[in-house]
Amino acid sequence: MKVKLLVARVGVTFSQNRGDEIDVGDAEALRMIAAGQAVAVDAQAVADAQAAADAQAAADAQAAADAQAAADAQAKVDIDAAAARAAVAPEQAVPQAKPEKAVK
């Protein structure tokens, strides 16, 4: 996306002055505009990039929710299995060590 710089930028291999119109990736352009470092040359490009970013954020949130639901379901299965193992008959249970009596 093309933006007009409101501040100068300098890197190892470039120098850009205030007022320069430069091409940057959509995500970087949105960050620069939000930070007040640049303004969009094409307002429609900003709207399109923001819509794409919003759609990606929604997809990422849904994927995270799906992963959490799967983890929760697996945790329930694990808890139920542990409870079933703990409910063995007393003759099959592992004997517990009895505390030793204190020596006087």
Strand partners, 65: none
Instruction: Find the mean pLDDT for residues 26-43.
Output: 90
pLDDT at residue 42, rounded to an integer: 83
User: Cβ distance 5 to 18 under 8 Å?
Assistant: yes
pLDDT of residue 9: 93
Put simply, whether the predicted model's pTM sits higher than 0.75 gets the answer no
- What share of the chain in percent tops pLDDT 90? 48
Question: What CA–CA distances, in Å, run from 41 to 15, 18, 45, 80, 91?
Answer: 20, 14, 8, 59, 79
Cβ neighbours, 10 Å, residue 1: 21
